Structure 1
Amino acid sequence: MCEANAYVRQDGVEELFLEGVDKVVPMDNQLYLENIFGQKKMIAGTIKELSLVDHKIIIEKI
């Protein structure tokens, strides 16, 4: 599978934001995420790290 889990990093701690993400679209200081289950979320933030081997997306809130 090619999906990843999205985490929000704050003060060095990563908190799960959305599992099974397969689509990320940047939109005006926000990120639109959609997962394989059809869940959709928006967050004001930027991608700080993308680890394809670990299937992780690290987001920093704005």
Structure 2
Amino acid sequence: MCEASAYLRNGDKDELLLQDVNKITPDGDILIIEDIFGDRKMVKGKIKEIILLDHKIIIEKN
């Protein structure tokens, strides 16, 4: 599978938010993150980094 995992960057630590992410939708300063099963999380932040080889999406709080 090619889905990624979304992490929330907190200082120098990355906290797992959601695995098997297939969709991220920006809504103002909110990111709506959805996995392949339809589960959603909403986080106030911005995408800091996407590491395709590691299947990681790093989100930084606003």
Same fold (TM over 0.5): yes
Pairwise TM-score range, normalised by the shorter structure: over 0.9
Which structure 1 segments of 5+ residues have no match? none
| Identical columns (%) | 53
Matches within 5 A, 1:7-26: 7-26=7-26
Paired with 1:46 and 1:9, the residues of 2 have a C-alpha distance of 10
Which structure 2 segments of 5+ residues have no match? none
How many pairs are equivalent?
62
2:44 corresponds to which residue? 44
TM-score scaled to structure 1, two decimals? 0.94
Root-mean-square deviation (CA, aligned residues, Å) is: 0.7
Paired with 2:8 and 2:52, the residues of 1 have a C-alpha distance of 17
Paired with 1:22 and 1:8, the residues of 2 have a C-alpha distance of 16
TM-score scaled to structure 2, two decimals? 0.94
